[in-house]
Structure 1
Amino acid sequence: MAQTPIILDPPPGTMDGVNILDDNTAIVQLRAPGKSYVHLRGDFNNFVINNSSLMRKSTDGNLHWMQLNNLDPDVQYRYHFLCDGNLEIGDPYGTLVLDPWEDQYISAATYPDMPSYPTGQAYWQQTVFQTVEPEFGWTDQNFQRPPSDRLIIYETLVRDFDETQTFQDVIDRLDYLQYMGFNAIELMPVSEFEGNLSWGYNPNYRFAVDKFYGTKEKLKELVNECHNRGIAVILDIVPNHGYGTDPLARLYLDGDGSIAANNPWFNETARHPFSPGYDYDHGDPWTKEFWKRVFDFWIDEFHVDGYRVDLSKGLTQTNSGSNVGYWSQYDQSRVDILFDYGNHIWNNHPGSYVILEHLGSDDEEMVLANGGFMLWGKMTQQYTESAMGYDGDINYGSWQNRGWNWPNLVTYAESHDEERAAFSLTSFGNASGDYDTKQEATAMDRLEMMHAFLLAIPGPKMMWNWGELGYQISIFDCLNGTFEEGCKLNEKPAPWEDLENEHRVGLAKTIAALNHLKKTQPVFGTYDFNVDGSGKGKRIHLYSPDQNAVLVGNFDVIPMDIVPGFPYTGTWYDHFTGEEIAVNDLGNAWYLQPGEWRLLLDTPLPTPDTDGSTPIVTNVGCMDEAAQNYDPSAEADSGTCMYVTTLELGLDGVEASPLGVHVAGSFQGWNPGGTTMELGEDGLYRASFVAVQGDMVQYKFINGNDWGQDEGVPAECGAPNGFGGFNRELTVGSADAVVPAVCFGTCESCGGTITPAGCADGDCCGEGTVWDIVSGTCVADGSVASDCPEDLNGDGAVSVSDVLQMLGAFGDVCE
């Protein structure tokens, strides 16, 4: 066996892993300091071990590399590294892994044409590369990530989601998830992990899709199909630890299987008491380089929209040993590590979500949240106890009640890690007389109330898969009549037969209606709200200039009087019954039965279908022929019709930059030079985008093509951007529309009119709607006057001020 490598540095810019130079040439590089020699064995050299397989070694001894020539672009090449003649590992950067122990259990239907394992040539996991891979046909160019404060996340484990345990199962249920109103899916880890039937938190190869779920093309298809439905995809990622088959760990292990002192990427002993497996050293620059490549890879290659960072509190080099209290204290080194990763992601992929499973101290979480991270907000006990009819204080489920500046708390009642609320409710719920929360119908009603008080609080929210159906198999159920901690990770049966259960369908429909409100109605994104959630009579009040809402519920098992706390007298509407209610006395108490809850708004909206006796229609789509994504096969409207919105800008004396005028926003990933505004003959700059009706879009204009040349949006016409400033904001309507021209950096209109071109004839509004000059939007015909005729204030012009004066004096219509 050749053991004396040629000492030569790799070409500049060569990265660890496979570097494709052209269709027939690649350089493969392994970083392995301290290894005397490394052989690269694979199909390209018939797995030989001789001088031809011996990799060159860099002058500093850290890198081993080899250039491969005359490669066939149609061939998938299997390969591994053999270090110092006795240690075989796959490529840490490999994107396809062949496993000699587990692949036999993966069906051809799940992974067609899987490369065979090179039996007789290897004994450990192999990686695979191809110089020219088939291009995936992405069609998600118009996808706009939902605003982070409007996220309704559906956390799911592909393994248990449906019968065949594949990405295809999730694809097949996307119409259902779209109907349910979820605008983000959070996939538990899908990168290669040990075994097949795992939750995925024992990962090894961080750039490879686990084949048990399907091919990488199938994962791309899942992301693409989600995006085409307005659904973001968030990956659960595990940077805290690795396990024995992690190639970076395996490179440097002692004889007893523990991390060796010379391992550059891992700590010899974990720095905190809750680290499973081997603990990554995130203070090491090589570790940081590796993980930044991981974070870039899944966004670039798979178009995912961000990450849920598992066990983020473990990313520290402060050694707390077994002291949980010390580990949970504020740790500036941990904060610095997380911001280093977060800023890398945001700088390279603006608008990406980064959600931390931190569950840390209040002061540390506040710093992270105010800096742009979202954080898991575990409220399982509080919401479940409330639903069961006991004392549960949900006030801490509000980001404002935690003292944060921005709505970055992902509150949840259930997650993959917690007991199922429906199991606790139907097993241990409270009762009084004939009213028993353990009975199925009553339990589902109370889960409706629980979810109303979860989803109504402004800010992002998360649900565990099947929670919308009241999944009541315990997380600890061994499915043999026993309950054990050791059964927590076991497979659990999917409950899709519950779509035939009247009570559970009613729950699902109610949650879908709540999700729709949260995504589309302005008051559910307000910063002006309060949560009164400590007693059994709970209330949430939401206030905004355009809409107000009051949610009141009796979580007790006996009737109670409760004052709803309306902000003003007048007409209110029960959203779920359609009842119109005249409120004359703000101090009047309502008598609510146990489990009764009411959601009141001061704007009338269509009454949603919550009838559990009729099936959920999942063949949904856009039914508006005028929309960009009209679906003639749809049986029900999905509320996801997409329309063209055109933005207009006047510079009004400001000199245009020679770099051009641009607009950046949530609709295009906040790329300051990505969307050019075209100058029209009328002196206005215009740019258009396509988005889903009801989407809240934030944007700002750029006089140039980079940050620092962006406008300062005044507070009076802006929405908080989460970093102390303001962006412009609009809600996409139900027709193609032109937003009236504004002047750069001001709230003032430009171009002499606030009415878009063509709106005098109704051309910019959809059928049955007209342009309302007061609100600056298309509204239902008849809800705004067509001929408010006169100069009421005597200023010589009929304008908005005349309309407002007339409305204040005479009511809500012009006649």
Structure 2
Amino acid sequence: MRYGNRWSALLLAGWLVGCGESGLDPQQGAGQELGQVTQKLSASTRPGMGATVYPGGTTFRVWAPNAQRVWVKGSFNWSGIELGNEFNGNFSGDVAGAGHGQDYYYTIQNQWGSYHDRKDPRSAWQYNSTSDSKILDHNNYVWRNSFSTPGFNEMVIYEMHVGTFVDSPGGNPGHWQSAMTRLDYLKDLGVNMIQVMPVMEFPGDFSWGYNPSFPFAPESVYGHPNYMKEFVDQAHARGIGVIFDVVHNHYGPTDLPHTCFNGDCMGANGQYFYTDWRKSTPWGDTRPDYGRAEVRSYIRDSMMSLLHAYRGDGLRWDATKYMRTSDGSAEIPDAWRVFRSINREINANQPWKISIAEDFGGGDSITNASTSDTSGGADFDAQWAGEFVHPIRKAVIESNDANRDMFAVRNAITQRFSGRHTSRIIYSESHDEVANGHARVPEEIWPGNAGSWEAKKRSTLAAGIVFTSPGIPMIFQGQEFLEDGYFQDTDPLDWYKNDVTYSGIRLMYRDLIRMRRNWFNNTRGLRGGNVNVHHVNNTGKVIAYHRWESGGPGDDVIIVANFSKTYFPSYNIGFPRGGTWYARFNSDANVYSSNFGNTATLNTVAYSGGKDGMGYNGSFAIGPYSVVIFSQ
């Protein structure tokens, strides 16, 4: 990870005017006696953890079990105001005059009498990951647009990294305002959900976001918290929802306000974390202690803040496998209590909002519901489908046609979790699949020549399978204009590829998305849950499948995919009904690329006569490495 000069960036933006930094080391003792502080508060009767603004002041409430005393210091009183002990692990008080934009931190006297300055783990606003916390009044932003989240079977997801989505090479990362400049583009592309990679405060300026320090505070280099709200607001104005990627399998592991928060490390990192073998993750010894009710509440509140205060339309939980296990195998049963309680709350209050697990191994138990708090499923709506992406990528990256396995492709198309077609997220590119030793699909097909005919044809073949298979389709930013190489948080998208070089490939993605969303009311079956892969030619490397919701004209859809370099002038397959079947889409059309074959895949008439288990059959031409979509 690269660390930029955060302070220079913020000074240029004028954000540090009047910031009131205290300059105290967050991990060392304050080195001053607070016994003479004149102001001491009674415990508050107002609700809320962290810093909660009310008319005329702010309630501070912090979890500090085993602490003797706790003070809050800030722009309102740098000498310190002692909070009242609630004798339940919490200390709280109502501080008149404390309000939006003011800095603050806590000083804690631990059980042995020493003092420690701490930032608020529930801080909702940070200048950076090492600064004091700031009070945020969520009512400071006025929402402008209403929005109705699309049904799960209607969703098309675009995975975005805010720092690289719209930016220029060098300098600081992109931000919410730069990303907003391309929202009209995404609307035209046809996606109706944006899944942003983690955007909560992390160390440094450049990161994928999977190392959060403050799960309640938006990443400062991306802009003011209100800019994050405005991004959601402006996306909603264009009919696009926003899914937030959240990380609770570990925190940090650096710049953490939680570490030894009480002044008692408990032999590890303190009360927020496991202190035994369960603390260890592939990213550090900072797995939250899911067995503690206060930690579960902390996780729950951070997620509900995204769904309510920021009006997110869903959550994508990173690496849930490393919540429910320590290393992929050793079980941590406490995590299931987190999954169920939060997902059930979402289902009870906002069931139209989607909750997605990245698990790779949880299977039906992740997406199944359960009536028991100690057994059964986790109540996720969907999970990322490794069972889909890996065989599809393998099939198109393979250089030898003979080695492509059409039965593996068939199984990828038909696989589902918990019997629901919307319970899986399907894709050929994601942030994980285009980095970590991998690259973009066109790059993997022909390293160093991602713009070649083969790379264009086979990568779009994979996209055709994504948008026509049962599931919720997702693409990764730049996939739609043949972005090459591999994903890096310091390498912005090359929009010239979209605007000029590969604008035809982007047009193909737009057309596929419109097919998937039944844009013209003649491919309704692509939103449905039914699929029958009725034709598997493993010799010729051609597969065909039938998709439908209720059946009938405008609903039944036939997809044919040629995974070979062979041109077929007359290919015959079964059809579910007789009559004319219209060629709605042909990926070999040269409107998508001047060097495509423009195979004349025309409308075909299906005649009576059994084929592939169906009562009718029809013939048509199909080009190499191509997808064709038929409907009536």
TM-score (norm 1): 0.61
Contact 2:192 2:240 in 1 (8 A): yes
Match of 1:381 in 2: 390
The 1:366/1:31 distance shift into structure 2, 3 A limit, reads: closer
| Superposed displacement of residue 571, structure 1 | 0.3
Give the Cα separation in 1 of the matches to 2:537 and 2:334: 36
Contact 1:410 1:462 in 2 (8 A): yes
| Superposed displacement of residue 254, structure 1 | 6.8
| Superposed displacement of residue 582, structure 1 | 1.8
Contact 1:295 1:345 in 2 (8 A): no
Contact 1:395 1:534 in 2 (8 A): no
Match of 1:469 in 2: 481
Match of 1:426 in 2: 446
| Superposed displacement of residue 290, structure 1 | 1.3
| Superposed displacement of residue 230, structure 1 | 0.9
The 1:538/1:276 distance shift into structure 2, 3 A limit, reads: farther
Look up the equivalent residue of 1:68 and give its one-letter code: V
Match of 1:230 in 2: 239
Match of 1:497 in 2: 496
The 1:570/1:303 distance shift into structure 2, 3 A limit, reads: same
Q: 1:42 aligns with which of 60, 74, 83?
A: 74
Give the Cα separation in 1 of the matches to 2:486 and 2:41: 59
Contact 2:106 2:119 in 1 (8 A): yes
Give the Cα separation in 2 of the matches to 1:190 and 1:457: 30
Give the Cα separation in 2 of the matches to 1:371 and 1:278: 25
SS of corresponding position for 1:92: coil
Contact 1:234 1:308 in 2 (8 A): yes
**1:522 is the counterpart of 2:542:** no
| Superposed displacement of residue 202, structure 1 | 0.9
Contact 1:570 1:583 in 2 (8 A): yes
Contact 1:395 1:401 in 2 (8 A): no
| Superposed displacement of residue 597, structure 1 | 2.8
Q: How many residues align?
A: 538
The 1:362/1:179 distance shift into structure 2, 3 A limit, reads: same
Match of 1:595 in 2: 625
Match of 1:746 in 2: none
Look up the equivalent residue of 1:95 and give its one-letter code: A
**1:31 is the counterpart of 2:63:** yes
Match of 2:589 in 1: none
Q: How does 1:336-485 map to 2 (within 5 A)?
A: 336-365=337-366, 367=368, 371=379, 373-378=381-386, 379-388=388-397, 389=401, 390-392=403-405, 393-398=408-413, 400-402=415-417, 404-419=419-434, 420-427=440-447, 440-475=452-487
Give the Cα separation in 1 of the matches to 2:158 and 2:631: 26
**1:203 is the counterpart of 2:212:** yes
Look up the equivalent residue of 1:65 and give its one-letter code: S
Give the Cα separation in 2 of the matches to 1:268 and 1:325: 16
Match of 1:89 in 2: 118
The 1:57/1:333 distance shift into structure 2, 3 A limit, reads: closer
Match of 2:594 in 1: none
Match of 1:615 in 2: none
Look up the equivalent residue of 1:295 and give its one-letter code: M
SS of corresponding position for 2:268: coil
The 1:311/1:3 distance shift into structure 2, 3 A limit, reads: farther
SS of corresponding position for 1:39: strand
Give the Cα separation in 2 of the matches to 1:569 and 1:464: 39
Give the Cα separation in 1 of the matches to 2:140 and 2:419: 44
Contact 1:377 1:397 in 2 (8 A): no
Contact 1:550 1:565 in 2 (8 A): no
Give the Cα separation in 2 of the matches to 1:30 and 1:281: 17
Give the Cα separation in 1 of the matches to 2:495 and 2:574: 40
Give the Cα separation in 2 of the matches to 1:70 and 1:527: 56
Give the Cα separation in 2 of the matches to 1:66 and 1:365: 41
**1:15 is the counterpart of 2:48:** yes
Give the Cα separation in 1 of the matches to 2:383 and 2:428: 14
The 1:27/1:587 distance shift into structure 2, 3 A limit, reads: closer
SS of corresponding position for 1:155: strand
Cα-to-partner distance string for 1:60-81 (whole Å, 9 max, x where unaligned):
5x2222332244x6x6211101
Match of 2:598 in 1: none
| Superposed displacement of residue 444, structure 1 | 1.5
Contact 1:252 1:259 in 2 (8 A): no
The 1:424/1:266 distance shift into structure 2, 3 A limit, reads: same
Give the Cα separation in 1 of the matches to 2:156 and 2:531: 19
Q: How does 1:409-808 map to 2 (within 5 A)?
A: 409-419=424-434, 420-427=440-447, 440-475=452-487, 489-502=488-501, 504-520=502-518, 521-531=523-533, 535=538, 536-543=541-548, 544-546=550-552, 547-559=555-567, 563-576=572-585, 579-584=602-607, 586-587=616-617, 592-602=622-632
Give the Cα separation in 2 of the matches to 1:221 and 1:401: 36
Cα-to-partner distance string for 1:576-604 (whole Å, 9 max, x where unaligned):
369332222545565644213321111xx
The 1:529/1:225 distance shift into structure 2, 3 A limit, reads: same
Give the Cα separation in 1 of the matches to 2:36 and 2:92: 14
The 1:159/1:70 distance shift into structure 2, 3 A limit, reads: closer
Contact 1:445 1:507 in 2 (8 A): no
SS of corresponding position for 1:565: strand
**1:305 is the counterpart of 2:313:** yes
Give the Cα separation in 2 of the matches to 1:593 and 1:310: 39
The 1:9/1:469 distance shift into structure 2, 3 A limit, reads: same
| Superposed displacement of residue 458, structure 1 | 2.6
SS of corresponding position for 2:220: coil
Contact 2:108 2:117 in 1 (8 A): yes
**1:77 is the counterpart of 2:102:** yes
SS of corresponding position for 2:365: helix
Q: 1:289 aligns with which of 281, 292, 297?
A: 297
**1:258 is the counterpart of 2:287:** no
Q: 2:259 aligns with which of 243, 249, 252?
A: 249
Give the Cα separation in 2 of the matches to 1:266 and 1:9: 32
RMSD of aligned residue pairs (Cα, Å): 3.0
Contact 2:107 2:115 in 1 (8 A): yes
Cα-to-partner distance string for 1:414-440 (whole Å, 9 max, x where unaligned):
100113111101229xxxxxxxx9762
Give the Cα separation in 1 of the matches to 2:480 and 2:175: 21
| Superposed displacement of residue 206, structure 1 | 1.6
Contact 2:396 2:462 in 1 (8 A): yes
Give the Cα separation in 1 of the matches to 2:248 and 2:418: 28
Contact 1:4 1:37 in 2 (8 A): no
The 1:301/1:396 distance shift into structure 2, 3 A limit, reads: farther
Determine which structure has greater relative contact order: mean sequence separation of CA pairs < 8 Å that are 6+ residues apart, divided by chain length. 2
| Superposed displacement of residue 354, structure 1 | 0.3
Q: 1:136 aligns with which of 110, 123, 141?
A: 141
Cα-to-partner distance string for 1:63-112 (whole Å, 9 max, x where unaligned):
222332244x6x6211101222542221222221133xx7xxxxxxxxxx
Give the Cα separation in 2 of the matches to 1:27 and 1:539: 62
Look up the equivalent residue of 1:548 and give its one-letter code: D
**1:162 is the counterpart of 2:166:** yes
Give the Cα separation in 1 of the matches to 2:305 and 2:417: 34
Unaligned runs of 5+ in 1: 103-123, 429-436, 476-488, 603-815
The 1:309/1:366 distance shift into structure 2, 3 A limit, reads: closer
| Superposed displacement of residue 383, structure 1 | 2.0
The 1:19/1:427 distance shift into structure 2, 3 A limit, reads: closer
SS of corresponding position for 1:307: strand
Cα-to-partner distance string for 1:625-671 (whole Å, 9 max, x where unaligned):
xxxxxxxxxxxxxxxxxxxxxxxxxxxxxxxxxxxxxxxxxxxxxxx
Look up the equivalent residue of 2:153 and give its one-letter code: D
Look up the equivalent residue of 1:583 and give its one-letter code: A
